[in-house]
Chains A and B, each alone.
Chain A
Amino acid sequence: MSPSSSMLMMSKLLRPVFLQSRSANLAQPGKNPVKEYECSNNTNKMFRMEQPLNVTQSGNIETNHTMPPSHKSRNNLLRTSLDLYSNVIHCRSMPGLQTRHKDIDIIIIRENTEGEYSSLEHESVPGVVESLKIITKSNSLRIAEYAFKLAREQGRKKVTAVHKANIMKLGDGLFLQCCKEVAAGYPDITFENMIVDNTTMQLVSRPNQFDVMVMPNLYGNVVSNVCAGLVGGPGLVPGANYGRDYAVFETATRNTGKSIAGKNIANPTAMLLASCMMLDHLRLMSSVKNNVGRGVNIALVNGVTGELIEARFFDMWEGDVNELLKFIRPLHEGTLVFVASYDDPATKMNEEARKIFTDLGSTAIKDLAFRDSWVFAGAKGIDDKSPFEQHIKNNKNNNKYEGWPEALEMEGCIPQRSLEEQ
């Protein structure tokens, strides 16, 4: 199933997201294979994405398992080279769809890079094959942290770790221990653990007891397929793979659907919902909220790593400036401040607010009106400026809408474009 049907839908939206089709052939020497999967964004006057947001949407690539072991799974290669460590699948009962179980709402978080999918196998003696399953503390902590953070953000009450630690005492034991450690830091969220065979049994009899589930790779494969089946099948559930720098959106159960290909009977819902997830994800760093003349959007970015610390909207129409002050008073050294607004907030800004912005170096505070995307307002701290801050403070002309994309890509700031484009 190709993403073309969802591309067609998205072109009808006003959001100008330009998808480039790419084939997943492995890289030629000298070329970075990772960059083939970037999604570039269209630039136009009204909505401008200020950086290449490394996001892509993909269909599944069939792995021919009759080929010799040297022919690796390309899906797996995609996930490991982009370090897409978290596979998130949200299984929700769809209204109007007849299924055996009702009111299912489960988020499955599956470790996506290690475990049984390490592809490390060897034949030690003829007729005896060993396959290695690798579990590491750092990846287990990482995925557990992701799960709990997501649970908190979404207001979820319970996280269940799925494992087989009674048999694989060291491997799954380590995973479970990491989950317990992370759980200790989230006392507002209930933490449970369940053995994988009991989990599948519970899923087919009482699936409503589950909320958020976190697990290693293979069990994630099983559980996500079971849950997708419970809510209506592979044609309905979208999935997302998140990494630190990249995100890939696809169908949750990753089927190629060979038997129904080319017959115009495939269900594009899963792919469509995956593209909706992608658009939601893009909104985090790009456009501004409540863009209808009410107030100020402020984003704080770490001046060294380029990571977004926080982005918030302040209602200057119904709210007051104190909320804004509480947010921008305690800035850390080295924080970059970006502002976007769609109306003149100046009438509600008081002396203190204006002073804080001026101190940041912003000469454009008066021009903040009528901006619908991010503008650099300045940086906190005088000594120890990042190269970006220096560049901006030295070139006052660049502190404007047009010069922004290139300036942000300087070393030490937000991730750069590919080498050949520089």
Chain B
Amino acid sequence: MSGYAWRTTVSRALSVFKSQTTVTRNYGSVIKTITLIPGDGIGPEISSAVMKIFDAAKVPVHWEERNVTAIKGPGGKWMIPPEAKESMDKSKIGLKGPLKTPIAAGHPSMNLLLRKTFDLYANVRPCVSIEGYKTAYSDVDLVTIRENTEGEYSGIEHVIVDGVVQSIKLITEDASRRIAEFAFEYARSNQRSTVTAVHKANIMRMSDGLFLKQCREVAENYKDIKFTEMYLDTVCLNMVQEPTQFDVLVMPNLYGDILSDLCAGLIGGLGVTPSGNIGANGVAIFESVHGTAPDIAGKDLANPTALLLSAVMMLRHMGLHEQSRKIQTACYDTIQDKKVVTKDLGGNAKCSEFTDEICRRVRDL
């Protein structure tokens, strides 16, 4: 991602929805504040691993740690702590570790709250095969862009009569248009050639049809990018046989959920997959999508790769290409070397040892 150019063009595109003056800043010279949300379970240890590696790479950032445990605001509505919101609104960039999903806490999941608070409408997951971490699939290089606010996850369900339940899938013109715009902008700024809309309009004619219509209309303004449409089942079928044929995929919520995890599985699982969430006001939160792994928390066994690669994605977003390249290369080389890697990557090193090894390589590069 050429972060600088990307940010300005996206802001320009988004100004259609929210009027906003774009302030272009050269992030290379200024110390940038980043809101860090360590999270639960293994979150704190992998966050400190990332901070250590950033330190070694001399990345000009200042970390502002915040907690996002939900509190009840005035009016009884659940919300994230105001300090966290304030920090994020100011910095616009966040890095988040895994958050515990509460079962009987009475409040919705924190991920959902974050999404609603900052209107994080796009979930971007670049899936690139990691050399040195062999899976059954090689040369995967695709990006899944998932609409993250509506669709099947609207949460609207009713019991019509006893034994009959209805769940509502909501598709709106605005949200579909917004995600389509984002997908094409992303493709353009990242030199990707094709955008594929994934849908099931043969069955859900009106809802997915509306989504498709918006994608088609937006595609008209991006003649330099090839636009194709494919059924969800065909994408799944082809993805497990020949994933190299896909480039950028854009889709509604549920299909995005399934496909992004499918693609993560192709490259090695959630432990090595980066993820970014883009919000309406220029807010971007990068996160690791794996769980909190409570069984290994605090034992220095965790693998920080997912959070690290998400942080690298964040650096690219900010325009700090040199540092992002250095850290990514160091990380990939360490994994390829296989000498000092954590258990899930095939070795038996501790988290701190793995981190130190990457730091060493970063300093040498």
Contacts and interface: CB of A to CB of B under 8 A. Distances in A.
B262 A225 contact: no
B269 interface: yes
A101 interface: yes
A419 interface: no
B153 interface: yes
Contacts of A196: 257-258
Interface in B70-103: 101
Nearest to B199: A65
Contacts of A226: 236-237, 239-240, 262
A170 B236 contact: no
B152 A201 contact: no
Interface string B184-209: 00000000000000001111111101
A309 interface: no
B173 interface: yes
B22 interface: no
Given A73-B203, A226-B262, A233-B241, A253 B152 contact: no
Contacts of A166: 101
A217 to B, nearest CB: 9
B332 interface: no
B119 to A, nearest CB: 17
B265 A205 contact: yes
Given A73-B203, A100-B136, A200-B265, A168 B167 contact: yes
Contacts of B166: 132-134, 171
Interface stretch (B157-165, B303-311, B319-327): B157-165
A133 B237 contact: no
A73 B203 CA distance: 7
B265 A131 contact: no
Interface stretch (A25-33, A114-122, A311-319, A380-388): A114-122
Point out which of B135, B165, B172, B241 has the most chain A C-beta atoms below 10 A from its C-beta.
Answer: B165
A167 interface: yes
Interface residues of B, number: 55
Contacts of B55: none
A133 B156 CA distance: 11
A222 interface: yes
Interface string A211-243: 000000010011011101110011000000000
A222 B232 contact: yes
Interface string B242-286: 000000000000100111111011101110000000000000000
B27 interface: no
B269 A121 contact: no
Given A201-B265, A203-B265, A234 B152 contact: no
A201 B168 CA distance: 26
Contact of A167 (B153, B202, B270): B153
Nearest to A227: B240
Contacts of B260: 197
Interface stretch (A135-143, A284-292, A404-412): A135-143
Nearest to A128: B172
A123 interface: yes
B175 to A, nearest CB: 10
A233 B254 CA distance: 24
A68 B206 CA distance: 8
Given A137-B164, A167-B153, A131 B171 contact: yes
Contacts of A174: 163, 165
Interface residues of A, number: 60
A11 B237 CA distance: 32
B210 interface: yes
Contacts of B171: 128-129, 131
A228 B237 CA distance: 7
B64 interface: no
Contacts of A363: none
A305 B135 CA distance: 54
A234 to B, nearest CB: 6
B111 to A, nearest CB: 11
A270 to B, nearest CB: 12
B234 interface: yes
A49 to B, nearest CB: 35
Nearest to A166: B101
Contacts of B163: 136-138, 174
A358 B171 CA distance: 69
Nearest to A136: B164
Point out which of B173, B234, B262 has the most chain A C-beta atoms below 10 A from its C-beta.
Answer: B262
B136 A130 contact: no
A168 B173 CA distance: 23
Given A222-B236, A226-B262, 6 more contacts: A130-B168, A131-B168, A131-B204, A202-B265, A218-B254, A253-B233
A-B CB proximity, top 7 nearest: A137-B163, A201-B265, A229-B240, A127-B173, A197-B261, A65-B201, A100-B136
Interface of A: 63-65, 67-69, 71, 73, 76, 100-101, 116-117, 119, 121-123, 127-138, 164, 166-171, 174, 196-198, 200-205, 218, 221-222, 224-226, 228-230, 233-234, 253-255
23 contacts: A63-B203, A129-B170, A130-B170, A131-B168, A133-B169, A138-B163, A166-B101, A167-B155, A168-B157, A168-B167, A171-B166, A200-B236, A201-B264, A201-B269, A203-B262, A203-B265, A204-B262, A204-B265, A222-B236, A225-B234, A226-B236, A229-B241, A254-B233
